[in-house]
Amino acid sequence: MKSKLLLFLLINCSIQFSFSQTYDSTFTIKEVCVNFNKTQYLTGNKIYTLDSLALKNHQTSNLNDILQQISALNIKTYGSSGISNCAARGKNSNHTKVVWNGLDINSQTLGQSDLSLLPITGFTDLKIHMGGSALKYGSGALGALIEINSNSKFEHDKSIEILSEIGSFHNNYNSIKGGYSNKKLYFNSLILNKLSKNDFVVTSYENRLYKQQYSESKSIGIIQNFAWKVNDKNIIDIHIWKNSKSRFIPPLTTDYPLYNFQKQLFSDNDLKLSAKWKYLKNNFVHHFLIGFVQNEQTFDKNTTEIRNYTVKSTTEYDLTTQTHIEYSVSYEQAKAYSLQLNSNPERKKISTFCSMNHRLSNSSVFLIFREEYTDMGFSPILPSLGYNYYWKNKSSHIISVNLSRNYNLPSLNDLYWYPGGNPNLLPEVSKQFEINYDLEKSISPKITLKNSTGIFASITNNWIQWSPSLENPSLWFAKNYKQVYSRGIEHNISLRKNGNIIYNFELQNSFILSTNKNTFTSEIDIKNKQLIYTPKHKTAFVFTTIFKNLSVMVQYNNLGKRYLTSNNEDLPGLTLPAIYLFDVGMSYGLKIFKRNLNIHFKIKNLTNLNYVLVQNLPQEGRSFWLTIQLSIM
């Protein structure tokens, strides 16, 4: 304990002049995958990025719609109006963290974020950090970290944009966004409203057709961004996000016909605040962040409220023209209020982080150390070591390697939920390795080929799982259940032809095994078996062609078979079959009275496939969507 305390204090006291760099310390290969038009490397780790221009093609989408296009991510949606979450590289959904403008917005009780609450139209850029690079933003992202930002630009501009979408099953989306900026001020506002009845046809457990009932949802959101450039050295950014969503929990296919079904309403009210001061001087940058997140969830007349406060100080410094150092220290406090939790639990966390990026002529080395202290004691030291080697001949090449260790604290529900929570749970600890090779080649002046291949592996100890009691199967309890071995291959390839007509082909494949290596119970038959709901295969393909103001898109997604039992019984009703989905769409842009008007039309699930992502919770069949986007200024 004394040695850990000494190390913690040394990190806090000795690295107040961390390093930064005037050049971008990430290396870019553009348009590696369908939606994410750049893949970056925080030396050794893959980072998918989507900028503001690409985000405009998904203005009415939620985050889960876009993330489907990354083959290493597995999206689970609990019915058409239910919660949606994301698991990465064979991990659980609570191993994916979401960071908004520097704040961790994962629920402190559930340990995850509902992706259906995150509107794409409210953000300017999106990044998916895979592997050890997530340590830069905190612990817990054993699978991936999703970073969403609302960036400001100090340039003369003003805009008003109105967007409206109608879709099958009584879906309706409307938003208005306006902004003004000059060399000193930046102001941007968004108001959105979404209504959905979700009354599509479902197939019951007895193979009878019913129109889905009690699946309505409605949401309203307000996002406000403000920035002030005080002078060339000082910038202040303020972000406010208020969101409210209410939805009925949809019936299971086993509930039909709905003779005795009782409607259950789930409501979610969020308030997020982020204020940051940025100071720049020569090769020195300092950030000071204050954040507040309040979440109130009500289900079946039971309300849970969580308040989370964050204070964070980050310093960057260019030690040399080749060496960049960064250091941060933060304090977080979370408090939960609920009748379902014992004693209104509270969590306090102090984190310190330092990193060094050293760039050579054709390679770079990146080193991260993170240490945290909570009411559960000190975390293990969390390092990440990465190396990039890159060269050019007739093509551009990058080889990247990374070794890292991360850990994840039990959620407050895991520890204190009544009944079933276990205050003696241990944090999950994961050791990770990955290697990536990327190629970019100009086949001709108009044709570009890009190829990315990666291999990863990780071992996670003290894996937390809820399981039924042997004495009373209706009661579930949390425990450190097993050791999980995850490994896989990710492959992305794209081919683009420029000219009067642009053609773009993009294909992603992943093969992931995530198996129980050892268990802390007598269940020998689950060893070396694939985790439930974790597909081994996933494929995503998109073809896009653009001619003047017209674009056409064809999209294909394949999700492999998923087991529903820990011993992988391959029997009817105990597996979810593979899914093959086709979407098609087209967009056309024109000017009316000197105003830009864009019209989008899309057909989702073209073949009208009957499928589920979670057992007995059906997804929509074939649906039609029309979107009109008008820029007034």
**In the prediction, which pLDDT does 90 show?**
92
At residue 455, does pLDDT exceed 90? yes
- Among candidates 149, 269, 178, which has minimal Cα distance to 219? 269
CB 402 within 8 A of CB 44: yes
Please give the C-alpha separations between residue 269 and each of 77, 109, 113, 121, 306, in angstroms, as whole numbers: 20, 15, 13, 19, 11
The DSSP H or E segment spanning 428 is strand 428-444
**In the prediction, which pLDDT does 29 show?**
28
- Band of the pLDDT at 385, cuts 50, 70, 90? very high
- Band of the pLDDT at 43, cuts 50, 70, 90? low
At residue 323, does pLDDT exceed 70? yes
- Band of the pLDDT at 437, cuts 50, 70, 90? very high
Cα–Cα distance for residue pair 29/392, rounded to 1 Å: 13
Q: What is the pLDDT of residues 601-618, one digit of tens each?
A: 999 999 999 999 888 888
| Residues 98-105, mean pLDDT to the nearest whole number | 94
At residue 222, does pLDDT exceed 60? yes
Burial 591-626, CB ≥16 within 10 A → b, else e: eeeeeeebebebebbbeeeebbbbbebbbbbebebe
**In the prediction, which pLDDT does 25 show?**
30
List the single range of 77-91, 420-434, 482-496 with lowest mean pLDDT.
Answer: 77-91
| Residues 236-254, mean pLDDT to the nearest whole number | 92
At residue 440, does pLDDT exceed 60? yes
Q: What is the pLDDT of residues 270-312, one digit of tens each?
A: 999 999 999 999 889 999 999 999 999 998 788 999 999 999 9
**In the prediction, which pLDDT does 79 show?**
66
**In the prediction, which pLDDT does 34 show?**
34
* Mean pLDDT of the residues in the chain: 87
Question: The tokens of 362 are what?
Answer: 């054709």
At residue 468, does pLDDT exceed 70? yes
List the single range of 139-143, 150-154, 475-479 with lowest mean pLDDT.
Answer: 475-479
At residue 5, does pLDDT exceed 50? no
**Residue type at position 586:** M
Cα–Cα distance for residue pair 393/413, rounded to 1 Å: 54
**In the prediction, which pLDDT does 130 show?**
87
pLDDT: is 414 or 50 the higher one?
414
The DSSP H or E segment spanning 395 is strand 395-408
**In the prediction, which pLDDT does 559 show?**
94
- Among candidates 171, 87, 101, 146, which has minimal Cα distance to 627? 171
| Residues 533-549, mean pLDDT to the nearest whole number | 93
pLDDT: is 558 or 135 the higher one?
558
**In the prediction, which pLDDT does 122 show?**
84
| Residues 303-329, mean pLDDT to the nearest whole number | 94
**In the prediction, which pLDDT does 237 show?**
97
pLDDT: is 131 or 107 the higher one?
107
At residue 28, does pLDDT exceed 70? no
- Band of the pLDDT at 26, cuts 50, 70, 90? very low
CATH of domain 2-631: 2.40.170.20
Could you give the percent of the chain with pLDDT greater than 90? 64
At residue 33, does pLDDT exceed 60? no
| Residues 544-561, mean pLDDT to the nearest whole number | 93
At residue 235, does pLDDT exceed 50? yes
**In the prediction, which pLDDT does 527 show?**
86
At residue 81, does pLDDT exceed 90? no
At residue 120, does pLDDT exceed 50? yes
**In the prediction, which pLDDT does 58 show?**
66
- Band of the pLDDT at 381, cuts 50, 70, 90? very high
Could you give the percent of the chain with pLDDT greater than 70? 90
Q: Express the helix, strand and coil content of the chain in percent, nearest 5 each.
A: 10, 60, 30
**In the prediction, which pLDDT does 56 show?**
62
**In the prediction, which pLDDT does 195 show?**
93
- Band of the pLDDT at 106, cuts 50, 70, 90? very high
At residue 55, does pLDDT exceed 90? no
| Residues 133-159, mean pLDDT to the nearest whole number | 91
| Residues 379-401, mean pLDDT to the nearest whole number | 93
Cα–Cα distance for residue pair 61/55, rounded to 1 Å: 9
- Band of the pLDDT at 427, cuts 50, 70, 90? very high
**In the prediction, which pLDDT does 476 show?**
86
**Helices marked H in 329-420:** 412-416
- Band of the pLDDT at 225, cuts 50, 70, 90? very high
Cα–Cα distance for residue pair 98/106, rounded to 1 Å: 6
At residue 37, does pLDDT exceed 50? no
Cα–Cα distance for residue pair 364/389, rounded to 1 Å: 7
19 burial type by CB count under 10 A (0-12 exposed, 13-18 middle, 19+ buried): buried
**In the prediction, which pLDDT does 80 show?**
63
At residue 413, does pLDDT exceed 80? yes
List the single range of 57-66, 118-127, 406-415, 595-604 with lowest mean pLDDT.
Answer: 57-66
